[in-house]
Structure 1
Amino acid sequence: MGTEQIPQPPPTAAAPQHPSAQEPPEEGAARRRRLPDRVGALWTLLTGRPVSLYAASALRIGYGLLYLIFLLRELPHRHEIWGPGSPWTPELAEQLFDRTGWSSVLLLSDDPVYFELCYAAALVTSALFMLGWRTRVTSVLFAVAVTSFHARAIFMTDGGDNLILLMAVYLVLTACGRRWSLDARRIRRKEARAGGTPRPTRRFPSQQFRDAGHTLTTVVHNCGMFIIAAQVCFLYGSAGLYKVQGPTWGGGTALHYALNLELFQPWPALSHLVDDYAILIAIVSYVTVLLQVAFPFVLFGRLKYPVLTALLGMHIGIAVLMGLPLFSGAMIVADAVFLPDRFYTFLPRLWRRATNRARGWRHVPARAAGTTSVPSQGRPGAPGTKRRAAPAGQTARATELAAEQS
């Protein structure tokens, strides 16, 4: 029995695969081309044209103006914060620099005259950077000034300086002077003077170097703008996640404690008035955490506009209730990087439209009292009135009716 062989079934043909299970060659080729297409689109985005030129100019104007106001506000206290009379002495600053690697041009000399010259140079640099005069040079000088003043007294100012410092360094990479600047105005006047005169033809190596420099400038600018946007997203996201971990924000009482800190009460009566509304405080706490956590995820849709509006109101509230205008201003200016160029180009048109409408209202003649918009109905035969001649048929019919009535 053990030697008996079990009869095997005859071999069957393999079951034919369903046509839909096989991938068409067209889809496979399209899938293989998808990655190079995406890489090519990314390369075109980086090298094709500079993005967000108006947003970069808004950042330049905003941070230049903020730091100029900051230096002017601290002008009476400059010696106690950065100068020879500061409790944070140059020796302490040097010890900190040995650990952190920072540096400051203010410590090159301990002469009071040198400090005054540095302070005046920082004021002038901030103003020129805001106006966009020789932006390539003034952006570097502005970054050096902000870094030097921040490093000299790193424990003497609030948190708004940190963001301004980062943005001042990032703006060096961008072409932030191509819009709304004295440089752009100078270029427009130069082109207007040139008129229709043809440009001189350049030799092949010179033109190649010129195109390469233009491409390099575009790539560096776009990377700088992407870094700024990523920095703001990281700032909001990390702030929201840190708030979630704390029990006070989860309980809705964080703003209650912040409003009762004497250090952040520029108007104590206003702070106590707002603190009386416990439900409002809890709602604002939860909304703040939600906006900050959700901010990086709403940037590619229309939901970002109401989120940016809510964040604007939040920063205004921080500036008014907690007395941190520099920090709030720095955050508001940073949010401007997410607004498209069409928004900035629409603002001048809106301003001109409103101005023209106001001028039209101003030049409308005032109507006399008692007059109405209905035109006066003149009597037949009265001077100054005109009567339209009736057709011949209507005149004959009117004559017949008058004869019948008589």
Structure 2
Amino acid sequence: MLRIGYGLLYLVFLLREFPHRDEIWGPGSPWTPALARELFDQTGWNSILTLSDSRAYFELCYALALATSALFALGWRTRVLSVLFAVVVISFHARAIFMTDGGDNLVLLMAIYLAFTACGRRWSLDARRVRLRAARTEAPAQLVKRPVLRQLRESRATLTTVVHNCGMFVIAVQVCFLYGSAGLFKVQGASWGAGTALHFVLNLRLFQPWPALSHLVDQHTILIAVAGYMTVLLQVAFPFVLFGRLKYPVLAMLLGMHLGIAVLMGLPLFSGAMIIADAAFLPDRFYTSLPYLWQRVALRAGVGQPEPSPAARAGSVPAQVRPTTGSLKSPSAGT
């Protein structure tokens, strides 16, 4: 889900800024490649966009960035594409570092973390290729007879599992720190304690894509105060509710909060990045039940096929590639 989500999100972001690409990242930007390279010498950042000042080179890099984001979301050659996707995000982020916001920062971190996960094991072209290859194989694969080769395969599977789980753990910790620190920072503010913070936010011209809608919402003072207190409470409590059923209503309320931020404040990239990050905390059974829920909705609407059996539901998510010996547990499907 993280792979599909962030791949599509960055693809939409690049397509949205396609008419303005030269002013933001290209040779025609006020922040010229020479100024960017001078800043890189001080900060240690780097970008493939500053390797040449040629417009043709920039257009080629932009086309490759679009292709990389699309293929990463589709899960084609994910091990290589995950690294290329991280390079693309880092390069575009560093090239126009003064035009970024919280959403860009989160996508940058997640792109780096996903490079260490086995995020192409499910719902990907890689998984489809493995299934088709297994279907074409008439006889089952023979076990490796040489002990050295067998041990190397087992070691590789173990290393992949460990690195994947560590990557998922870092992603979860990153989101917890983000919510917790944001909530604790708000607690220190007098406006959040008085319940007036969202009132001031709704009246900032910089974050008013639809001023009439912002003023309409701002008229409900009690609702605004309650929403402000709930925002602080949800963010502070988020790291402490992840191990129980209470996390589901909390995630649902956070979804509503981020949708409100996207609409009222005009920050769709930030909201999308946070919603996708929250999806990492949903269990596998939630995703395996999605086809079943879709069948139920279609059946009630009078279209579609009958509901699948429990056995069919269990196989609704493509099986992962498992070690030859079958003795090791494959990485989680959380990504």
Residue correspondence of structure 1 range 254-333 to structure 2 within 5 A: 254-333=197-276
Q: Distance in 2 between matches of 1:129 and 1:232?
A: 22
Give the SS at the match of 1:348.
helix
The answer as to 2:82 corresponding to 1:139 is yes
Q: Distance in 1 between matches of 2:256 and 2:16?
A: 24
Q: Distance in 2 between matches of 1:91 and 1:197?
A: 58
Q: Distance in 2 between matches of 1:119 and 1:150?
A: 13
Q: Report the alpha carbon displacement of residue 362 of structure 1 after superposing the two structures with TM.
A: 11
Q: 1:201 to 1:69 in 2, by over 3 A?
A: same
Superposed CA deviations along residues 230-266 of structure 1, whole A, max 9, x for unmatched, are 0000000000011011111111111111111111111
Residue 235 of structure 1 corresponds to 178
Residue 296 of structure 2 corresponds to 353
The answer as to 2:193 corresponding to 1:245 is no
Superposed CA deviations along residues 265-293 of structure 1, whole A, max 9, x for unmatched, are 11110000000111111110000000000
Residue 328 of structure 2 corresponds to none
Q: Report the alpha carbon displacement of residue 360 of structure 1 after superposing the two structures with TM.
A: 5.7
Q: Report the alpha carbon displacement of residue 329 of structure 1 after superposing the two structures with TM.
A: 0.2
2:14 counterpart (63, 71, 83): 71
Residue correspondence of structure 1 range 120-269 to structure 2 within 5 A: 120-269=63-212
Alignment length (residue pairs): 306
Q: Report the alpha carbon displacement of residue 359 of structure 1 after superposing the two structures with TM.
A: 4.4
Greater relative contact order (Cα 8 A, min sep 6): structure 1 or 2? 2
Superposed CA deviations along residues 303-334 of structure 1, whole A, max 9, x for unmatched, are 00000000000000000000100000000000
Q: Report the alpha carbon displacement of residue 354 of structure 1 after superposing the two structures with TM.
A: 2.8
Superposed CA deviations along residues 11-43 of structure 1, whole A, max 9, x for unmatched, are xxxxxxxxxxxxxxxxxxxxxxxxxxxxxxxxx
Which deviates further from its counterpart, 345-354 or 141-150? 345-354
Whether the 8 Å CA contact 2:295–2:304 is kept in 1: the answer is no
Q: Distance in 2 between matches of 1:292 and 1:361?
A: 40
What's the TM-score, normalizing by structure 1?
0.73
Give the SS at the match of 2:243.
coil
> Which amino acid is the alignment partner of residue 332 of structure 1?
I
What's the TM-score, normalizing by structure 2?
0.89
> Which amino acid is the alignment partner of residue 287 of structure 1?
M
Q: Distance in 1 between matches of 2:79 and 2:273?
A: 22
Superposed CA deviations along residues 168-207 of structure 1, whole A, max 9, x for unmatched, are 0000000000110000001111111114434253311001
Indicate the structure (1 or 2) with the bigger Cα radius of gyration: 1
Q: Distance in 2 between matches of 1:205 and 1:77?
A: 56
Whether the 8 Å CA contact 2:183–2:233 is kept in 1: the answer is yes
Q: Distance in 2 between matches of 1:340 and 1:133?
A: 24
Q: Report the alpha carbon displacement of residue 352 of structure 1 after superposing the two structures with TM.
A: 2.5
Q: Distance in 2 between matches of 1:265 and 1:348?
A: 38
> Which amino acid is the alignment partner of residue 64 of structure 2?
A
Superposed CA deviations along residues 149-180 of structure 1, whole A, max 9, x for unmatched, are 00000111332100000000000000000110
The 4+ residue runs of structure 1 with deviation greater than 6 A are: none
Q: Distance in 2 between matches of 1:239 and 1:151?
A: 24
Q: Report the alpha carbon displacement of residue 361 of structure 1 after superposing the two structures with TM.
A: 8.8
Percent identity between matched residues is 75
Q: Report the alpha carbon displacement of residue 94 of structure 1 after superposing the two structures with TM.
A: 1.7
Residue 341 of structure 1 corresponds to 284
Whether the 8 Å CA contact 2:77–2:126 is kept in 1: the answer is yes
Superposed CA deviations along residues 353-390 of structure 1, whole A, max 9, x for unmatched, are 33344446999xxxxxxxxxxxxxxxxxxxxxxxxxxx
Whether the 8 Å CA contact 2:258–2:271 is kept in 1: the answer is yes
2:36 counterpart (93, 114, 117): 93
Superposed CA deviations along residues 99-148 of structure 1, whole A, max 9, x for unmatched, are 21110000110000000000000000000000000000000000000000
Give the SS at the match of 2:225.
helix
Superposed CA deviations along residues 338-357 of structure 1, whole A, max 9, x for unmatched, are 00000000101211233344
Whether the 8 Å CA contact 2:234–2:254 is kept in 1: the answer is yes
Task: List alignment gaps of at least 5 residues for structure 1.
Answer: 1-57, 364-406
Task: List alignment gaps of at least 5 residues for structure 2.
Answer: 307-335
Q: 1:360 to 1:168 in 2, by over 3 A?
A: closer
Q: Report the alpha carbon displacement of residue 93 of structure 1 after superposing the two structures with TM.
A: 1.3
Q: Distance in 2 between matches of 1:361 and 1:80?
A: 48
Q: Distance in 2 between matches of 1:197 and 1:234?
A: 46
> Which amino acid is the alignment partner of residue 316 of structure 1?
L
